[in-house]
Structure 1
């Protein structure tokens, strides 16, 4: 039974990945590396968590500055530590104008305290790198519809692999439009394209 479920999950993820490549659109960042993208993130209302506390945060609150997103959960025993390390690297190397936003894919277990501890373990700077949590329905809608990325939950799986999710990073412009999607081992392309977004922002 578990093998059949695993095969279905793998097939769904493969189809979703193909869909992401097919959705490359006009207006996207071009150049080597990354998946070209140009789709707006839908409206949402979630809770932002950092070392300073919690606050309500919606799509409109992220407008005006470019940002980078990724998807993690604190009980993950797979790729999440690597993804967190990648975000920490971006915190050190991207201009201060960029926000960093990590979406939990396991909000039932990732409460504010757990996310704070997780962020602290990777040096998350309050006010710069935030974690978003909220209802699972809202989070998954944003990930699917806004970022065109996969997230699938198997409640019967071991704790550390209960959620299968995208390991990509997304680059979002000041208008809330996803402009590129990058693998963790291609953060150099993300940084290069981030510089282009800053130039766009400076020209209005």
Structure 2
């Protein structure tokens, strides 16, 4: 049997101490992400909708929280993909807005559309819808559970109600959020002048 000397013991002990010290000074990527999220939450204004907890799934199946959109202005609305009249017009309003900006300018803000329909509008369906509407990478379509959708609708003052024929009666409301998720301007109804929304957005660049 190999004899363990005091020198060998001290060498091993010192090595373990150095290893533990390095790990303590270099937290894992998950710890870094958690710390960053906590800092972001503390820095958000009290009236930011990004304070809403809970995870959403986007059209690519990725899980995220609303505060993931912090850092850029956001054009926000709520729709559902089986809507045959108002929602396509809402999307068209936003596409007209997008067309007023150059490809470079479009990277300075983001479109977020949340579905009212937590049952049918799963990520795969949202992806199909995004492709059919030819929506680019600066568009996020989100699916959430029933309670989360209701909470967000209340926070954004968007009303909706499921009706007997499988449809959803809802208000048509588009919002411009600042970089911290605070509602700066709302546009109600269909056929909104895209120049009006553009003027609000440009002040945030």
TM (normalized to structure 1)? 0.69
SS of the equivalent of 1:54 reads: coil
Q: In structure 2, what is the equivalent of residue 132 of structure 1? A: 142
Q: In structure 2, what is the equivalent of residue 163 of structure 1? A: 168
Q: Distance in 1 between matches of 2:63 and 2:169?
A: 27
Q: In structure 2, what is the equivalent of residue 5 of structure 1? A: none
Q: Distance in 1 between matches of 2:194 and 2:47?
A: 20
Structure 1 segments of 4 or more deviating over 3 A? none
Q: In structure 1, what is the equivalent of residue 54 of structure 2? A: 45
Deviation at 1:144, TM superposition (A): 0.9
SS of the equivalent of 1:140 reads: helix
SS of the equivalent of 2:55 reads: strand
User: In terms of Rg, which structure is larger?
Assistant: 2
Q: Distance in 1 between matches of 2:146 and 2:183?
A: 21
Q: Distance in 2 between matches of 1:172 and 1:188?
A: 17
User: Unpaired segments of 5 or more residues in structure 2?
Assistant: 1-45
SS of the equivalent of 1:84 reads: helix
Q: Distance in 2 between matches of 1:175 and 1:168?
A: 20
Q: In structure 2, what is the equivalent of residue 27 of structure 1? A: none
Deviation at 1:141, TM superposition (A): 0.6
Q: Which has the higher strand share?
A: 1
TM (normalized to structure 2)? 0.69
1:46-195 superposed matches below 5 A: 46-50=55-59, 53-94=60-101, 95-96=105-106, 97-126=108-137, 128-145=138-155, 147-154=156-163, 156=164, 158-159=165-166, 162-183=167-188, 184=190, 185-195=192-202
Deviation at 1:39, TM superposition (A): 4.1
Q: In structure 2, what is the equivalent of residue 15 of structure 1? A: none
After superposition, the CA RMSD in angstroms is 1.8
**Are residues 88 and 40 of structure 1, via their aligned partners in 2, closer, same or farther at CA, if it must alter by over 3 Å?**
same
Q: Is the 1:72–1:102 contact (alpha carbons within 8 Å) kept by the matching residues of 2?
A: yes
User: Unpaired segments of 5 or more residues in structure 1?
Assistant: 1-37, 199-204
SS of the equivalent of 1:101 reads: strand
Deviation at 1:72, TM superposition (A): 0.8
Deviation at 1:181, TM superposition (A): 0.5
